[in-house]
């Protein structure tokens, strides 16, 4: 896939391109950043601009300087390359050819060479280029030459690329789209009109094989994993000795003992996860959005059609979803993974794809046993990739039309709740849709009950590949001693299964928020987790967890950076033993 990102000066084109690359990268160290700007020690403004760009890039990216065309030609299939940008590349070519006073076209051979390399590039390529042709005609001959040469170069590169976007004032507009993945009018901001929801599937429909096929349009072997995918080592809890140190340190800080309330518990938890008191702020917080479709959506259980799942994956890749905007404020990187989306998605987000849609759990298994293991293995591999790339805080988010149905089934099954008490409105189904959803959940629960004591079988019959992958991800985060902020009802349903697969994993998680879904409350109670915030959200994508992240960061800075009574010369009078013992008491169990 080749993508060209155009934009004016300070339009946000580089940040957009970086986000595009980061959202889809499948492994650590897999990004080459081709820096086309040349250093000029005499130009401090230019040098500080280069520094700013460099500081923004993840540490595990490889910076490549030199001949961009040559680098693109030598590339392996699996690599992702960001070329930033063609304006400085062109300047260097004109400089080298001393062509500023020559006629247009004097560096045609170099332009041909680059366009040829882009056309043949086998990796995933994102090219940034300035759009200079919209302003006033430059006053100098050199300025006019540059503008014209760049306009011609952009046109040729746009021709060679599959997708082209123009960024204006930070907002991307798609000029050329590779596939139907572009958002269609089916993505609504309001719930669908009832008549657009497919008719419900008859409850007595005969059981069928799961509607799962091999991913991708190209022939690709279905991913496999052995039984070891679901075997987790015993989980070691966060460091209890450091937790005690952190509690003691809280008492030294310039505030009445216990006055920061739950912030104090959170700071103790982070310190114990990091085995460090004082704890440090997260250096690489990451949200991974697990995307998948669900056959049960065809029973009319959601307010939106299944096509929205693939369309929203493209939206997340482009940086336009809620998760992208909130992550930017909370200081987290975004990655989206197509685990089981029905439609085709961009190649860079589907390297862990297990199947196209999961089965309709009201009448068939969600997956085969092999796919269940492959999905858990995918989630574990994604967690490993993130931790290996330096992630020190993980968030699981999800996107999948119909996914609150399997989530509710899992939670109701594991907490012994009646469907009517657990079923929520999801994306906003109307009353008729809610009744169809309740009937589907009732039918799915009937299929789930015989396998309640077997987490693997429960995932296979009653979840989805995306939920199974999240369970693997959450459990593996605990194996890797990496703290996690949970999101809404779907992520928390997967967390219940992760705890069943890897007992003790829950000690590494906090609940970011409480969504409006009734089943979410039950799942949180079962995990003994108290949500950090409650904002009546029901979006998913990791949005609620991301909103809680600044609270977690605040907990860290208070414990790490507040002055002590001693250092600030503040009297400890009144900081009585009574308040002290109250504050040092073990947290009530709920985090």
Ligand X SMILES: O=C(O)c1ccc[n+]([C@@H]2O[C@H](COP(=O)([O-])O)[C@@H](O)[C@H]2O)c1
Name residues whose C-beta falls within 8 Å of residue 112's C-beta, 6 or more positions apart in sequence: none
Q: Which of 68, 399, 485, 522 binds ligand DMD (CB under 6 A)?
A: 399
Name residues whose C-beta falls within 8 Å of residue 143's C-beta, 6 or more positions apart in sequence: none
Looking at residues 404 to 443 of the shown chain, list those that interact with ligand DMD (rule: CB under 6 A).
Answer: 427
360 binds ligand X (CB under 6 A): no
Q: How big is the CA angle at 450 (ends 486 and 437), to the nearest 5 degrees?
A: 55
Which residue's CB is nearer to ligand DMD, number 336 or number 529?
Answer: 336
463 binds ligand X (CB under 6 A): no
One character per residue 520-549, x = contact with ligand DMD (rule: CB under 6 A):
-------------------xxx--------
CB of 173 closer than 8 Å to CB of 166: yes
Q: Which of 85, 398, 443, 466 binds ligand X (CB under 6 A)?
A: 398
CB of 290 closer than 8 Å to CB of 466: yes
Residue 57: which of ligand DMD, ligand X, none does it interact with, CB under 5 to 8 A by kind?
none
Shortest reach from residue 304's CB to ligand X, in Å: 6
Residue 515: which of ligand X, ligand DMD, none does it interact with, CB under 5 to 8 A by kind?
ligand X
Number of residues interacting with ligand X: please give it, by CB under 6 A: 25
287 binds ligand DMD (CB under 6 A): no
Q: Which of 71, 356, 520, 591 binds ligand X (CB under 6 A)?
A: 520
Looking at residues 523 to 562 of the shown chain, list those that interact with ligand X (rule: CB under 6 A).
Answer: 538-541
Interior/surface letters 478-495, b for 16+ CB within 10 angstroms, e for the rest: bbbbbbbbbbbbbbbbbb
Q: Which of 16, 304, 473, 509 binds ligand DMD (CB under 6 A)?
A: 304
Question: Distance between the two ends of the chain, CA-based, in angstroms?
Answer: 44
Mark the segment that binds ligand X (CB under 6 A) among 100-108, 150-158, 360-368, 486-494.
Answer: 486-494
Shortest reach from residue 294's CB to ligand DMD, in Å: 12
Give the number of residues written for the chain.
Answer: 591
Q: Which one of the listed residues 541, 566, 573, 586 is annotated catalytic? A: 541
Shortest reach from residue 304's CB to ligand DMD, in Å: 4
CB of 201 closer than 8 Å to CB of 298: yes
Of 341, 299, 335, 294, the C-alpha closest to 316 is 335
Range list of β-strands (E), 413-462: none
Residue 538: which of ligand DMD, ligand X, none does it interact with, CB under 5 to 8 A by kind?
ligand X
399 binds ligand X (CB under 6 A): yes
Name residues whose C-beta falls within 8 Å of residue 440's C-beta, 6 or more positions apart in sequence: 200, 201, 296, 299, 301, 361, 362, 405
Residue 488: which of ligand DMD, ligand X, none does it interact with, CB under 5 to 8 A by kind?
ligand X
Shortest reach from residue 539's CB to ligand DMD, in Å: 5
Q: How big is the CA angle at 542 (ends 25 and 286), to the nearest 5 degrees?
A: 40
427 binds ligand X (CB under 6 A): yes
User: What tokens were used for 219?
Assistant: 């022939």
Tell me 219's DSSP state: -
Of 428, 468, 229, the C-alpha closest to 337 is 468
Q: Which of 312, 327, 349, 468 binds ligand DMD (CB under 6 A)?
A: 312
Name residues whose C-beta falls within 8 Å of residue 379's C-beta, 6 or more positions apart in sequence: 290, 339, 468, 469, 470, 471, 472, 473, 474, 476
Residue 417: which of ligand X, ligand DMD, none does it interact with, CB under 5 to 8 A by kind?
none
Bridging pattern class, strands 285-292 and 332-340: parallel
Residue 187: which of ligand X, ligand DMD, none does it interact with, CB under 5 to 8 A by kind?
ligand DMD
CB of 50 closer than 8 Å to CB of 39: yes
Q: Which of 187, 214, 533, 535 binds ligand DMD (CB under 6 A)?
A: 187
CB of 163 closer than 8 Å to CB of 2: yes
89 binds ligand DMD (CB under 6 A): no
Q: Given CA atoms 55, 59, 61, 67 in this order, what sign does their dihedral have? A: positive
Catalytic residue status for 566? no
Shortest reach from residue 323's CB to ligand DMD, in Å: 8
User: What tokens were used for 66?
Assistant: 């030199």
Report the interface residues with ligand X, using CB under 6 A.
Answer: 302-304, 398-405, 426-427, 429, 487-490, 515, 517, 520, 538-541
Q: Which residues are known to be catalytic?
A: 541
Residue numbers at the binding site for ligand DMD (CB under 6 A): 187, 304, 308, 312, 399, 427, 539-541
């Amino acid at each position: 896939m080749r993508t060209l990102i155009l934009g004016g000066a300070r339009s946000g084109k580089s940040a957009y391109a970086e986000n595009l690359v980061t959202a889809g990268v499948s492994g650590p160290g897999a990004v080459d950043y081709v820096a086309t700007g040349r250093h000029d020690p005499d130009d401090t403004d230019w040098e500080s601009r280069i520094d700013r760009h460099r500081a923004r890039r993840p540490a595990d990216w490889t910076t490549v300087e030199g001949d961009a065309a040559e680098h693109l030609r030598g590339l392996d299939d699996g690599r992702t390359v960001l070329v930033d940008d063609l304006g400085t590349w062109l300047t260097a070519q004109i400089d080298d050819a001393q062509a500023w006073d020559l006629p247009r076209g004097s560096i045609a051979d170099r332009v041909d060479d680059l366009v040829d390399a882009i056309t043949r590039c086998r990796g995933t390529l994102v090219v940034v280029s300035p759009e200079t042709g919209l302003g006033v005609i430059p006053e100098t001959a050199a300025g006019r030459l540059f503008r014209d040469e760049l306009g011609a170069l952009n046109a040729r590169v746009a021709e060679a690329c599959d997708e082209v976007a123009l960024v204006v004032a930070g907002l991307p507009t798609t000029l050329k789209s590779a596939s139907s993945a572009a958002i269609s009018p089916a993505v609504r901001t309001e719930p669908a009109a009832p008549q657009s929801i497919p008719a419900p599937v008859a409850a007595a429909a005969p059981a069928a094989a799961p509607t799962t096929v091999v991913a991708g349009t190209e022939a690709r072997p279905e991913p496999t994993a052995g039984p070891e995918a679901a075997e987790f080592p015993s989980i070691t809890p966060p460091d209890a000795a450091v937790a005690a140190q952190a509690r003691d340190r809280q008492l030294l800080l310039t505030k009445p003992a216990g006055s920061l309330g739950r912030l104090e518990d959170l700071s103790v938890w982070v310190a114990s996860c990091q085995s460090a008191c004082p704890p440090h702020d997260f250096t690489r917080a990451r949200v991974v959005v697990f995307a998948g479709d669900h056959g049960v959506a065809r029973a009319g259980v959601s307010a939106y059609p299944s096509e929205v799942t693939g369309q929203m994956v493209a939206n997340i890749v482009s940086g336009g979803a809620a998760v992208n905007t909130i992550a930017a404020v909370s200081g987290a990187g975004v990655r989206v993974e197509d685990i089981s989306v029905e439609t085709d998605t961009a190649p860079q987000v589907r390297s862990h794809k297990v199947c196209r849609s999961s089965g309709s759990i009201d009448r068939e298994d969600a997956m085969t046993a092999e796919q269940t293991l492959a999905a858990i293995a995918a989630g574990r591999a994604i967690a490993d990739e993130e931790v290996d790339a330096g992630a020190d805080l993980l968030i699981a988010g999800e996107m999948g039309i119909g996914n609150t149905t399997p989530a509710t089934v899992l939670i109701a099954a594991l907490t012994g709740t009646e469907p009517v008490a657990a079923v929520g409105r999801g994306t906003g189904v109307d009353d008729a849709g809610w009744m169809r959803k309740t009937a589907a959940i009732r039918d799915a629960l009937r299929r789930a009950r015989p396998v309640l004591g077997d987490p693997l079988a429960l995932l296979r019959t009653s979840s989805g590949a995306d939920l199974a992958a999240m369970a693997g991800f959450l459990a593996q985060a605990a194996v890797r001693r990496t703290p996690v902020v949970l999101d809404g009802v779907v992520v928390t349903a997967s967390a219940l299964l992760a705890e069943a697969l890897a007992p003790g994993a829950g000690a590494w998680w906090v609940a970011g928020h409480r969504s409006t879904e009734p089943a979410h409350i039950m799942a949180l109670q079962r995990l003994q987790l108290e949500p950090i915030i409650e904002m009546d959200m029901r979006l998913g994508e990791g949005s609620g967890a991301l909103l809680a992240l600044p609270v977690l960061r605040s907990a860290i800075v208070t414990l790490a950076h507040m002055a002590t009574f001693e250092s600030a010369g503040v009297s400890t009078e009144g900081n009585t033993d009574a308040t002290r013992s109250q504050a040092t008491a073990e947290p009530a169990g709920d985090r």
